[in-house]
A and B are shown apart, each in its own frame.
Chain A
Amino acid sequence: MSVMEQDSAGAPARASLMNDPKVRGYFYQVLLVVLLLTFGYIIVTNTVANLERQNIASGWGFLGNTAGFGIIQSLASYSETSSYGQAIFVGFLNTLLVAVVGIFCATIVGFVVGIARLSNNWVISRLAYCYVELIRNVPLLLQIFFWYFAVLRAVPGKREKWSLFDTFHLNIAGLRGPKPIWEPGAEFIGYALIIAIIATVAVSRWARKRQEETGQQFPMFWTAVGLIVGLPVITYFITGMPMQLEHPNFVETGPRLRQGFELGVGMNLIPEFLALTAALAIYTAAFIAEIVRAGIQAVSHGQTEAAHALGIRQGPTLRLVIIPQAMRVIIPPLTSQYLNLTKNSSLAVAIAFPDLVSVGGTVLNQTGQAIEIIGIWMAVYLSLSLLTSAFMNWYNQRMALVER
Chain B
Amino acid sequence: MSKKILPLVLGAAMGVAASTAASATTLEDVKAKGFIQCGVSQGLPGFSNPDAQGNWTGLDVDLCRAMAAAVFGDASAVKFTPLSAKERFTALQSGEVDVLSRNTTWTMSRDTQLGLNFAGVNYYDGQGFMVRKDLGVTSALELSGASVCTNTGTTTELNVADYFRANNMPYEIVAFEKADEVVAAYDAGRCDVYTTDASGLYAQRLKLTNPGDHMVLPEIISKEPLGPVVRQGDDEWFNIAKWTLNAMINAEELGVTSENVDEMKSSDNPSIKRMLGVEGAFGESIGLSNDWAYNVLKNVGNYEETFNANVGPDTPLGISRGVNALWSNGGFLYAPPIR
Contact = CB atoms under 8 A, between A and B. Distances in A.
B286 interface: no
Interface stretch (B25-33, B38-46, B184-192): B184-192
A256 B134 contact: yes
A221 interface: no
Interface string B130-174: 000011110000111111010011100110111001000011111
B7 interface: yes
Given A257-B146, A366-B153, A352 B19 contact: no
A173 interface: yes
Given A70-B161, A255-B142, A257-B136, A54 B192 contact: no
Contact of A362 (B11, B170, B175): B175
A269 B113 CA distance: 38
Nearest to A73: B172
Interface string A258-302: 100011100000011000000000000000000000000000000
A302 to B, nearest CB: 54
B90 interface: yes
A155 B80 CA distance: 40
Nearest to A149: B184
B232 A54 contact: yes
A158 B132 CA distance: 13
A158 B14 CA distance: 60
A60 to B, nearest CB: 14
Given A352-B181, A365-B86, A365-B154, A152 B188 contact: yes
Given A54-B115, A358-B177, A68 B162 contact: yes
Contacts of A367: 109, 113
Interface residues of A, number: 51
B233 interface: yes
Given A69-B158, A153-B188, A42 B18 contact: yes
Contacts of B165: 80
Residue among A57, A69, A258, A351 with most chain B CB within 10 A: A69
Given A69-B158, A257-B136, A263 B145 contact: yes
A248 interface: no
Contacts of B162: 68, 80
A152 B231 CA distance: 42
Contacts of A3: none
A262 B170 CA distance: 10
B142 A354 contact: no
Contacts of B137: 255, 257
Given A56-B93, A365-B154, A173 B190 contact: yes
A358 B170 contact: no
B86 A361 contact: yes
Given A152-B190, A271-B190, 12 more contacts: A54-B115, A54-B232, A55-B232, A68-B161, A69-B175, A149-B185, A257-B146, A264-B170, A352-B176, A358-B152, A358-B177, A366-B158
25 contacts: A38-B11, A42-B14, A42-B18, A55-B233, A68-B161, A69-B158, A69-B161, A152-B188, A158-B147, A172-B189, A255-B135, A256-B135, A257-B192, A264-B170, A352-B185, A354-B175, A361-B153, A362-B152, A365-B85, A365-B89, A366-B109, A366-B153, A366-B158, A368-B109, A368-B113
